Amino acid sequence: MKVSLKWLNEYVDVPADTKALCDKLDLTGTGVEGVEVGGAGFSGVYTGQIVEKTAHPDSDHLWVTQVDVGDQNVDESGNPVPLQIVCGAQNFEAGDKVAVALVGAVLPGGFEIKKSKLRGQVSNGMNCSARELGLGDDHDGIMILDPGTPLGVDFAQYVGLSDRVLDLEITPNRPDCLSIEGMARELGAMYRIPVKDVCEGVELIEAGNPTADSVSVEIADSELCPRFTARVIRGVEVGPSPDWLAERVTASGARSINNVVDITNYVLYLLGQPLHAYDFDKVAGADGKAHIVVRAAREGEVLATLDGQERNLTPDMTLIATPESAIGLAGVMGGLDTEVSDQTTTILLEAATFSPGHTSRTSRNLGLFSEASMRSERQVDMQPIDRNIDFAAALIAQLCGGTVDVGLVDVWPVREQPMALQLRVARCAGMLGADIPQAEIEDILVRLGCDVKDAGDGVLDVVPPSFRPDLEREIDLYEEVLRLFGMENVPSTLPGGRERIGRRSWNEQVVARLHGTLRASGLSETQTYAFASPDDLANLRMDAVAEGEAVELINPLNAEQSVMRQSLIPNLLRSGAYNQNHGVGNIALYELGDVFHSAEGRKQPWEWAKLAGVLAGATDASWNLPSRAYDYVDGKGVVENIAGELGLTKLRFKALEANEAPFLQPGRGAQVLSGGAIVGWVGEVYPLAVAAFDAAPPVVAFELDVKALAKAASATRETSEISPYPAVSMDVAFVVDESVTHEKLMQTMQSAGGSLLASVQLFDVYRDQERLGEGKKSMAYALEYRAADHTLSGEEAEKAHSRLVKKVCGATKAEVRA
């Protein structure tokens, strides 16, 4: 909310130091988001005194003056030094006080004062005329100020032109602060200073017929509208607002429209009371009387609001209506057809309070937010509505001419009794953790407008003022006490609980180890959007094998982000493409995050964590290490590192067929299993799927289920003994058909090698059509034989090895390569 300090100062003494005021507001809960300086059309103009006036040596009409501007121009030791200013005016004498625009000053029209020379004489500013400052038409000479004017004072501030407008963040619990009156009260409480009655000086004079003869009001449901008041002002002349009114309304952020509308806005800003002015003649029925009904809208009812929009209403919305038609959307905006125009002469003025909940939903349903709705949804104080409408009616009569009908139409079906609260002094001080004496608590509450009585036994009976709907419970009073006691005055402590142990859950431990392993494997963690495009899965060729249906957003930011992701891969591919487009040759990214899916009949979707990575391009080349392009086995290596770190048992990579994983390049993709349970997949993404995300293949990827990993991870390990006996190493190369897998050879060797086979390591895969034949490959293994209980002899090793070779050859039709 915008608050003009100049306006506020009418009712409460606003401290001169704006910075200190802002700090104090911040520390008592009214956030200051900005300070605008406004009011005068110029800046950099200060009061000064002509101390010397001599004729310009080269001119017959110019004067060279020495002007004392107080602290605005000082020497090194801080003493004021007069400025030399060349001046063409003839109406002044040495000793006169004047308004001086210093170098850097900006005058109306954006005219900036610069240091200059006039016919050889230096001039450090300008002595100003009223017209030059936009303060009048007088251009006969410079302004001569009162002899008592102090020197070096900001001229705009001195003559009361300058204003500072604070942009305040009013929290939703403080509707009372959405007005100048409320802020005046707040300053009064903050600084313990008196606050004037903001309605003072405007007197209501009624004349003519009773208002009730012209207006009837019926409230269909008092829950929708607890209080509704109306007045009629006749003989009004709609026209421009006086300057002071336009200025205040503008400073508060509205546009000056005409005197009647400006007054309704003025009262809104001053008192926080939303008002609406109708053209009486457009509202009155055939009998010449306005029959106002406040009721729920009907399904399908339509109202054109002041902003020219046709609004489709629902029964949750409250209407101001006549028997013939709707004329206003309660608490939000008036109707277009009954608005005040230049021809209006009789005004029907409405001041009411409506259900905050209905107003809030109405605004949100229609996307229609106004200054009125903002106040209505936070609750308008129903107590002073009669005062508010009387003040507004009087002001209309005063500024627009006309007379106010006699009496107020005031329909107020249910009068709520003020709420009486109890505050336990010891509990309050105890919960705040500060030793606040009872007297101070009482003082704070009284300053805030509460009625406070000592009920004995350390209990206070407190009745909050009607303008504080947020003070409903004892705890709400604690907040007020703390706010004005000062949070800075509460001593800092740490909780002293006994049964407190900080620890990481198993899942967190697994996740932390996953992150560590992936970093150790050379991948960098990233985050991508959890939003996805509805096409993502189809583009990835994963749609046919995905689980469930996409989770759709009702109000996405754009179509490309209108569903929640079902896989981390699409956005990782986009990041891959981003890197490729920016010349990054080594892409190794991973992300751990949630994926989502839903199904018909389901409220909350399924959501669980996945770990995915992409590798594209090649490793960095180094002076002693050549670059190496990423391929399937890099991805597999990462998964194997994870398996090692988590102690996954019975790890298996099972080839994925094209129909099982259309998103992977056939022959370069595998399902990852541990102990028979699927934990995810690894492989090279199908080239067309990569291209669909504007990335260049090949891209190696993997996507693992974090919960499955956590479940398969071993919490404990067993140490295997390290044999003290030496091993015998043997190498063998098997020439086999391409279809014979490493896994098959390993299984055969391991079962044939028995307990003596300590380790098997693949060290070479070799293909040569001429030497090995078509469709053949040579797989070379380094084997180690070792006995657990003695040094293995060469003969024993040879025997075991030849048995192994024979079995492998038998099982896989392998030949041993010489």
Partner 1 sequence: MAIVDEIRELLASALADIAAAADTAALDAVRVAVVGKSGTLTGYLRSMGQVPADERAEVGKAVNAAREEVEAALEARKAVLASAELEAQIASDALDITLPGRAQQVGTRHLISRITDEIAEIFLGLGYTVASGTEVETDYYNFEALNTPADHPARGLQDTFYVVDRSGDVSAVRGESDVLLRTQTSGVQAHVMETQEPPIYIIAPGKVYRRDVADPSHLPQFNQVEGLVVDKGITFGDLKGTLEYFVRQMFGEDRRTRLRPHFFPFTEPSAEADISCGICGGVGCRFCKGTGWVEVLGCGMVDPNVFAYADIDPEVYSGFAFGMGVERIACLKYNVPDLRMLLEGDMRFLRQF
Binding to partner 1 in span 55-74, by CB under 8 A: none
Q: Based on C-alpha coordinates, what's the Rg of the chain?
A: 42
- Can you tell me which of 91, 309, 527, 747 binds partner 1, judged by CB under 8 A? 527
499 binds partner 1 (CB under 8 A): yes
- Can you tell me which of 54, 90, 116, 171 binds partner 1, judged by CB under 8 A? 171
594 binds partner 1 (CB under 8 A): yes
Closest CA to 14 of 148, 261, 203, 184: 184
Q: What is the C-alpha to C-alpha distance for residues 300 and 283, in angstroms, rounded to an integer?
A: 22
Closest CA to 87 of 112, 103, 66: 66
The piece of 322-330, 600-608, 640-648, 720-728 that touches partner 1 (CB under 8 A) is 600-608
548 binds partner 1 (CB under 8 A): no
Contact 549, 597 (CB under 8 A): yes
The piece of 197-205, 521-529, 645-653, 725-733 that touches partner 1 (CB under 8 A) is 521-529
Comparison of 268 and 482: residue with beta carbon closer to partner 1: 482
Closest CA to 509 of 217, 214, 370, 709: 709
531 binds partner 1 (CB under 8 A): yes
- Residue 313 pairs in a beta bridge with none
521 binds partner 1 (CB under 8 A): yes
Comparison of 473 and 790: residue with beta carbon closer to partner 1: 473
298 binds partner 1 (CB under 8 A): no
Q: How many Cβ atoms are within 10 Å of 208's Cβ, its own excluded?
A: 14
Comparison of 58 and 552: residue with beta carbon closer to partner 1: 552
Comparison of 367 and 794: residue with beta carbon closer to partner 1: 367
Comparison of 233 and 642: residue with beta carbon closer to partner 1: 642
479 binds partner 1 (CB under 8 A): yes
Binding-site string for partner 1 from residue 414 to residue 453, where x marks contact by CB under 8 A and - marks none: ----------------xxxxx-------------------
> Least distance to partner 1 from the beta carbon of 495, Å?
5
Chain residues 360-419 in contact with partner 1, contact rule CB under 8 A:
360-361, 363-365, 369, 377-378
Encoding tokens for residue 292?
């106002």
Q: In this structure, what is the dihedral angle of CA atoms 335, 340, 343, 344, given to the nearest 10 degrees?
A: 110
584 binds partner 1 (CB under 8 A): yes
- Can you tell me which of 102, 303, 482, 685 binds partner 1, judged by CB under 8 A? 482
520 binds partner 1 (CB under 8 A): yes
> Least distance to partner 1 from the beta carbon of 316, Å?
7
Identify the residue whose tokens are 């993997």.
Answer: 702
> Least distance to partner 1 from the beta carbon of 367, Å?
9
Q: What is the C-alpha to C-alpha distance for residues 810 and 798, in angstroms, rounded to an integer?
A: 18
- Can you tell me which of 110, 147, 502, 676 binds partner 1, judged by CB under 8 A? 502
Cα distances from 814 to residues 299, 394, 732, 749, 817, in angstroms, run 83, 109, 11, 12, 9
Q: What is the C-alpha to C-alpha distance for residues 392 and 249, in angstroms, rounded to an integer?
A: 14
Q: How many Cβ atoms are within 10 Å of 717's Cβ, its own excluded?
A: 7
> Number of residues in contact with partner 1, rule: CB under 8 A?
112
Comparison of 670 and 695: residue with beta carbon closer to partner 1: 695
Comparison of 31 and 239: residue with beta carbon closer to partner 1: 31
Q: What is the C-alpha to C-alpha distance for residues 769 and 771, in angstroms, rounded to an integer?
A: 6
Comparison of 121 and 528: residue with beta carbon closer to partner 1: 528
635 binds partner 1 (CB under 8 A): no
Chain residues 8-47 in contact with partner 1, contact rule CB under 8 A:
19, 22-23, 26-29, 31, 34
Q: What is the C-alpha to C-alpha distance for residues 231 and 409, in angstroms, rounded to an integer?
A: 7
Residue 580 CA from chain centroid, whole number: 33
Reduce the secondary structure of 555-609 to three states and give it as a string: CCCCHHHCEECCCCHHHHHHHHHHHHHCCCCEEEEEEEEEEEEECCCCCCCEEEE
599 binds partner 1 (CB under 8 A): yes
300 binds partner 1 (CB under 8 A): no
Contact 586, 545 (CB under 8 A): no
Chain residues 552-571 in contact with partner 1, contact rule CB under 8 A:
552-557, 561, 564, 571
590 binds partner 1 (CB under 8 A): yes
491 binds partner 1 (CB under 8 A): yes
> Least distance to partner 1 from the beta carbon of 461, Å?
19
- Can you tell me which of 286, 494, 715, 722 binds partner 1, judged by CB under 8 A? 494
Pairing of strands 403-406, 206-210: parallel
Comparison of 555 and 769: residue with beta carbon closer to partner 1: 555
Residue type, 229: T
Comparison of 345 and 561: residue with beta carbon closer to partner 1: 561
Q: How many CA atoms lie within 13 A of 793 on its CB side?
A: 3
Q: What is the C-alpha to C-alpha distance for residues 19 and 191, in angstroms, rounded to an integer?
A: 15
605 binds partner 1 (CB under 8 A): yes
> Least distance to partner 1 from the beta carbon of 497, Å?
5
> Least distance to partner 1 from the beta carbon of 87, Å?
37
- Can you tell me which of 131, 387, 447, 483 binds partner 1, judged by CB under 8 A? 483
Residue type, 199: C
Where does residue 816 rank: exposed (0-12), middle (13-18), buried (19+ CB within 10 A)? Answer: middle
Phi/psi of residue 91, nearest 5 degrees: -95, 20
Angle at 783 between CA 782 and CA 789, to 5 degrees: 150
Angle at 731 between CA 727 and CA 735, to 5 degrees: 150
497 binds partner 1 (CB under 8 A): yes
628 binds partner 1 (CB under 8 A): no
> Least distance to partner 1 from the beta carbon of 359, Å?
8
Encoding tokens for residue 451?
């009625």
Residue 645's H or E segment, with its range, is: helix 632-646
Residue 702 CA from chain centroid, whole number: 35
The piece of 199-207, 263-271, 341-349, 577-585 that touches partner 1 (CB under 8 A) is 577-585
Identify the residue whose tokens are 């991948």.
Answer: 523
Identify the residue whose tokens are 């198993």.
Answer: 506
665 binds partner 1 (CB under 8 A): no
Comparison of 14 and 550: residue with beta carbon closer to partner 1: 550
Q: How many CA atoms lie within 13 A of 228 on its CB side?
A: 28
- Can you tell me which of 136, 239, 357, 644 binds partner 1, judged by CB under 8 A? 357
The piece of 1-9, 277-285, 520-528, 664-672 that touches partner 1 (CB under 8 A) is 520-528
